[in-house]
A = this chain, B = another copy of it.
Amino acid sequence: MATLGDIGVAATINILSAFAFLSAFAILRIQPINDRVYFPKWYLKGLRSSPLQTGTLVSKFVNLDFRSYLRFLSWMPAALQMPEPELIDHAGLDSAVYLRIYLIGLKIFIPIACLGFAVMVPVNWTNKTLEHSKLKYSNIDLLSISNVPLGSNRFWTHLVMAYVFTFWTCYVLKREYEIVAAMRLHFLASEHRRPDQFTVLVRNVPPDPDESVTQLVEHFFLVNHPDHYLTHQVVNNANKLSELVNKKKKMQNWLDFYQLKYSRNPARKPSTKTGFLGLWGKTVDAIDFYTSKIETLKKEISLEKDKVMSSGKSVIPAAFVSFKTRWGASVCAQTQQTRNPTLWLTDWAPEPRDVYWDNLAIPFVSLTIRRLIIFVAYFFLTFFFMIPIAIVQSLANIEGIEKALPFLRPIIEVIPKTIGTSIPMKATFFITYIMVDGWAGVAGEILRLKPLIVYHLKNFFLVKTEKDREEAMDPGTVGFNTGEPQIQLYFLLGLVYAVVTPFLLPFIIVFFALAFVVYRHQVINVYNQEYESAAAFWPDVHGRIITALIVSQLLLMGLLSTKEAAQSTPLLITLPILTIWFHRFCKGRYEPAFVRYPLQEAMMKDTLERAREPNLNLKSFLQIAYIHPVFKEVEECESDPASEESDQEPVLIPTKRQSRMNTPLPSKHSGSMTSLG
């Protein structure tokens, strides 16, 4: 068990390392040579084309303006300055809403921490339980629930606080759900015309002996949506074609590599071996070898493409069906088409860039079986993982106590009272964890050490054209998939320890504040959103925080019952019930905004559009929107064989800033660019 001194040492180390990361970042980011690593977003949006510094050769690589080093934390206020509507314009709604999760953390935990310190700390501290026991304890444990004697009336304070904290959390969550739902609806309403607004993805088209899939789809929708059906696009299983295209791309890369090598050292023609990884086999001229390989692949691709396009066999029983109006699409997406609810399944089409084409080809039966397998595997993973962890954990605790107090052995060896002391005493471990993972980790995120090194390596060895450089600096999207679970862990910790050991809360608050600033900076300057779900993930975020809240309530219940405060159990049981009810209420009230598209909104947009553009040719707009991207790639490559294929054209999100394209002067609120002025 760590003492207050140990925690102090850990805090010092972590604060120093976080500080070191931030300083390194502050210095590295203002070097023109790193500009594309720390501000790729602006390059990708076309708002910046070269470092802002101009002058001597040296100053093209190194920043010589020493005043800028003094303002080394100036990026923080800069990151906070851009107002939210502009942020949504700049980085999309998903990113803006993602940042709100960190804000929620602050909104929930700052008042809870204040109340916790004002009420719980005195209540816990003014006992002598740990002092009189012979348990090993640290100064922090004196502030925790462990220090309250068994069966004390003081537990009523914890009970009341659990209620207060739950109500506050629910209040914040409800307000936030309301705001995010409104933001989403506003965002959807103000969006420009996009193919997915008119389109529905139809899956499980039943096989028909007389008609092909495309005929069947057309007939079905002409009959059942006669006034609204416009056109459709069947889905081809082009997985083999994609594979060939990818293979060709890899070969092209090798060819480029050897050509570059040759151009740098024209004296020696590069050679390679034909076997596995070029390690054995016949030695051949590398450039000739890869050129001929690419030629063969090109022929294969052309053949495969004709095969996919002409024969009906590669058509899978799914189609993107487009309607004349948003109203028609909205109706089709929300209704059941036929008696058998597993046929003619209709869902909103995702936007074209968001379609995962390979998986569209998986048949329904296979999907069902895959789901079952994952379900069973997930269960057993959790189940068998939980058992050893629980055993090891409890042994570790019991051993620790047994060593200190050998006479307790017979009592301890009966499987349940340790929870009352072990959970609160784990707090010191989690405090250290938060400092390492939360503080130093987030500070490390902003430094982008790995992308920095990779970019410079690529830039030095591989980059030939401006397009290559753009690819080398592509930062990808912000890591929802790793960031969100991390946040959820902190919510869980914060809610569990809010009543038990409020001393942990300030550490969490520092994490949320730091992460908010850092990720806001990253979203503005670094990450580039690939597609826009319009915050469709929010119900999950909400649900997980609710789960954390319920877990914290159940743990408190168990804890108080081991503390012989069982008379409070009925009152504590009410808490999760109220929380579940609150969740159901929110689900009914706000979730539909995230899964359905109200007819009124659709009708409004349709009517406006009809009035503004009476002669719009929607069919031409929709007809090729949902063609498998590999066909486009193949066509591009056929028309321009020398160019490299990029996976996706970076489609620009319309922005108010277009008029200022390439202007070297930063805008008033353009994030950290102000510090370079």
Interface residues of A (CB under 8 A from B): 185, 223-225, 227, 330-331, 334-339, 341-342, 368, 372, 375-376, 379-380, 383, 570, 573-574, 577-578, 581, 585, 588-593, 596-601, 603
Max count, chain B CB within 10 A of own CB: residue among A227, A331, A339, A570: A339
Would you give 24 A-B contacts (Cβ < 8 Å), ordered by A?
A: A185-B339, A224-B600, A224-B603, A225-B599, A330-B335, A334-B334, A334-B336, A335-B598, A336-B596, A337-B598, A337-B600, A338-B599, A339-B598, A339-B600, A341-B592, A341-B593, A341-B596, A341-B598, A375-B577, A376-B574, A376-B577, A376-B581, A379-B573, A379-B577
Give every chain B residue within 8 A of A339 (Cβ-Cβ): 185, 593, 598, 600-601
Q: Is the CB of A334 within 8 A of B337?
A: no
By the criterion CB–CB under 8 Å, are B581 and A375 in contact?
Answer: yes
User: How far is A339 from B383 in the complex, measured between Cα atoms in Å?
Assistant: 41
CA–CA, A336 and B327, complex, Å: 11
Given contacts A224-B599, A336-B592, A376-B574, 16 further A-B contacts (CB under 8 A): A185-B339, A223-B600, A225-B599, A227-B227, A334-B336, A335-B599, A336-B599, A337-B598, A337-B600, A338-B598, A339-B601, A341-B589, A342-B588, A372-B581, A376-B581, A383-B570
Q: Are B379 and A341 in contact (CB under 8 A)?
A: no
User: Do A223 and B588 touch (CB < 8 A)?
Assistant: no
Residues of B within 8 Å of A336, CB to CB, are 334, 592, 596-599
Question: Cα distance A601–B223 when bound, in Å?
Answer: 11
Q: Given the complex, which residues of B lie within 8 Å of A338, measured CB to CB?
A: 598-601
Q: A342 contacts which chain B residues (CB < 8 A)?
A: 588-589
- Hey, which chain B residues are within 8 Å of A574, CB to CB? 376
Q: Closest residue to A607 on the B side, CB-wise?
A: B223
List the B residue with the shortest CB-CB distance to A223. B603
A603 to B577, CA, bound (A): 44
| Complex CA–CA separation, A578 to B376 (angstroms) | 8
Nearest CB of chain B from residue A220's CB, rounded to whole Å: 8
Given contacts A372-B581, A376-B577, A581-B375, whether A331 and B335 have CB atoms under 8 Å apart is yes
Residues of B within 8 A of A589 (CB): 341-342
- The list of the 6 closest CB pairs from A to B, nearest first, reads A341-B592, A336-B596, A334-B335, A338-B600, A336-B598, A331-B331
| A239, B618: Cα distance in complex, Å | 53
Q: Measured between alpha carbons, how far is A600 from B570 in the docked complex, in Å? A: 52
Please state if A337 and B577 are interface contacts (CB–CB under 8 Å): no
Contact check, B593 vs A337: say whether CB atoms are below 8 A apart: no
Contact indicator A596/B334 (Cβ below 8 Å)? no
Q: Which residue of B lies closest to A378 (CB)?
A: B577
Nearest chain B residue, comparing its CB with the CB of A576: B379
**CB nearest to A595 among chain B residues:** B336
**Docked complex Cα distance between A590 and B577 (Å):** 31
In this complex, the member of A336, A338, A588 whose beta carbon has the largest number of chain B beta carbons within 10 angstroms is: A336
- Contacts of A334 on B, CB cut-off 8 Å? 334-336
CA distance A185 to B341 in the complex (A): 12
Contacts of A592 in B (CB 8 A): 336, 341
- Listed residue (A334, A574, A599) with the most chain B CB atoms within 10 angstroms of its CB: A599
Tell me how far the C-beta of A46 lies from the nearest C-beta in chain B, rounded to whole angstroms: 35
Question: A581 to chain B: which residues have CB within 8 Å?
Answer: 372, 375-376
In the complex, the answer to whether A599 meets B337 with C-beta atoms within 8 Å is: yes
- Chain B nearest CB, measured from A178 CB (Å): 10
Shortest distance between the CB of A167 and any CB in chain B (Å): 15
Q: How far is the CA of A591 from the CA of B342 in the complex (A)?
A: 11
Which residues of B have CB within 8 Å of A330?
335
- Taken together as a complex, chains A and B put the C-alpha atoms of A379 and B581 apart, in Å, by 12
Q: Name which residue of chain B comes closest to A372, CB basis.
A: B581
Contacts of A591 in B (CB 8 A): 341
Chain B's nearest CB lies how many Å from the CB of A203? 13
The reply to whether A341 and B588 form a contact with Cβ atoms under 8 Å apart is yes
Across the two chains, which residue of chain B brings its CB closest to A569?
B383
- CB closest chain-B residue, reference A591: B341
Q: CB-nearest residue of chain B relative to A220? A: B600
Q: How far is the CA of A380 from the CA of B336 in the complex (A)?
A: 39
> Residues of B contacting A590 with CB < 8 Å?
341
How far does the Cβ of A365 sit from chain B's closest Cβ, in whole Å?
A: 12
A418 CB to nearest chain B CB (Å): 19
In the bound assembly, the distance between CA atoms of A335 and B334 in angstroms comes to: 6
A503 nearest CB across to chain B (Å): 34
A599 surroundings in chain B (CB, below 8 A): 224-225, 335-338
